[in-house]
Chains A and B, each alone.
Chain A
Amino acid sequence: MSDSLLTTAAEVFPRMLEDSAFLFAEDPEGAIDFRTPVTGVAIAYEGPEHGVLHLWAQDAFMRSLAANMLGIDETDEGALNRRFDALGELLNIVLGHCLTERFGESETMKMGLPHRLDLAELEADKLSGIWLSVEGEPVLLAWSDPS
Chain B
Amino acid sequence: MAYTVLLVDDSETIREAMVRAFAMAKLPMDEILRAANGAEALQVLRERWVDLVLTDINMPTMGGEELVRAMKSDAELSDIPVAVLSSDGSKSRIDRLSALGVVGYLRKPCRPEAIRDLLHSVLGEWQ
Contact = CB atoms under 8 A, between A and B. Distances in A.
Interface of A: 16, 19-20, 66, 69-71, 78, 82, 85-86, 88-89, 92-93, 95-97, 99-100, 105-109, 111-113
A66 B13 contact: yes
Interface stretch (B75-83, B85-93, B115-123): B85-93
8 contacts: A82-B12, A85-B11, A86-B13, A92-B58, A92-B87, A93-B87, A95-B87, A105-B89
Interface string B48-92: 000000000011100000000000000000000000001111111
Contacts, number: 69
Contacts of A112: 58
Interface stretch (B14-22, B25-33, B39-47): B14-22
Interface of B: 10-14, 16-17, 20, 58-60, 86-93, 107-109, 111
B13 A69 contact: yes
Contacts of B12: 82, 85
B109 A108 contact: no
B21 to A, nearest CB: 9
Contact of B93 (A69, A93, A95, A108): A108
Contacts of A111: 58, 87-88
A113 B90 CA distance: 17
Nearest to A98: B87
A85 B89 CA distance: 21
B16 A70 contact: yes
